[in-house]
């Protein structure tokens, strides 16, 4: 098994958490992004009804933060981490799209990417859950690690997750 699969050993027959015992704690920061597409009707309703938008987005942000703090419980091989800063920003300024950005910062031997991805994903799922009765065709189009810094692999940037007028 390739050594690039840190959770597998012995040709993939055994799984394990990554051994971080010899690593030093360093500052780590990760940002994940999710893009959702909603119907024109739902988009209009969320845009024009600030109370509705606030209720949906506040609930979704809260769910995302709660989830990212429990990543080590949700993803079997993730280490439990102490999050020092987390923020979720939701925008819906381009017709029919909702954009979610989740950023996580901490000082640890590992982490931040999975926590940011979990936060963004659960935030999107919460929006879906709260809006599914009004729109049966909501799509969660893409979720990914937008950027990260710190740790052994250093800085990472994914230009495919840039926001543009087409997404």
Residue 129 is among the residues annotated as catalytic for this protein: yes
Work out the average pLDDT over 78-82.
91
* Active-site position among 129, 135, 155, 164: 129
65 pLDDT above the threshold of 90? yes
Looking at residue 17, its pLDDT comes to 74
Residue range(s) defining the domain that contains residue 130: 25-155
Determine, yes or no, domain membership for 110. Answer: yes
- Pairwise CA distance, residues 119 & 138, whole Å: 19
Determine, yes or no, domain membership for 65. Answer: yes
- Pairwise CA distance, residues 80 & 147, whole Å: 21
CA 121 from centroid of its chain's CA atoms: 5
Determine, yes or no, domain membership for 18. Answer: no
- Pairwise CA distance, residues 8 & 167, whole Å: 36
The total domain count for the chain is 1
- Pairwise CA distance, residues 44 & 38, whole Å: 10
Determine, yes or no, domain membership for 57. Answer: yes
User: What angle, 0 to 180 degrees and rounded to 10, lies between the N-to-C axes of helices 40-48 and 50-68?
Assistant: 100
Q: Using DSSP, state whether 30 is helix, strand or coil.
A: strand
Determine, yes or no, domain membership for 10. Answer: no
Determine, yes or no, domain membership for 123. Answer: yes
**Tens of pLDDT, residues 102-153:** 999 999 988 899 999 999 999 999 999 999 999 999 999 999 999 999 988 8
For residue 106, the domain's CATH number is: 3.30.70.640
Determine, yes or no, domain membership for 66. Answer: yes
Instruction: Choose between 24 and 60: higher pLDDT.
Output: 60
6 pLDDT above the threshold of 80? no
**pTM of structure:** 0.89
Determine, yes or no, domain membership for 48. Answer: yes
């Amino acid at each position: 098994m390739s050594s690039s699969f840190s959770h597998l050993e012995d040709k993939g027959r055994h799984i394990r958490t990554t051994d971080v015992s010899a690593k030093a704690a360093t500052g780590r920061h990760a940002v994940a992004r999710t893009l959702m597409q909603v119907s024109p009707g739902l988009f209009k309703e969320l845009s024009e009804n600030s109370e509705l938008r606030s209720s949906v987005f506040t609930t979704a942000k809260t769910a995302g933060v709660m989830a990212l703090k429990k990543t080590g419980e949700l993803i079997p091989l993730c280490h439990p981490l102490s999050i020092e800063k987390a923020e979720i920003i939701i925008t819906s300024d381009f017709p029919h799209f909702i954009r979610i950005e989740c950023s996580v910062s901490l000082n640890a031997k590992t982490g931040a990417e999975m926590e940011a991805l979990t936060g963004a994903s659960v935030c999107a799922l919460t929006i879906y859950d709260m809006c599914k009765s009004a729109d049966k065709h909501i799509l969660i189009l893409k979720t990914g690690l937008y950027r990260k810094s710190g740790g052994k692999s250093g800085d990472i940037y994914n230009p495919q997750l840039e926001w543009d007028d087409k997404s």
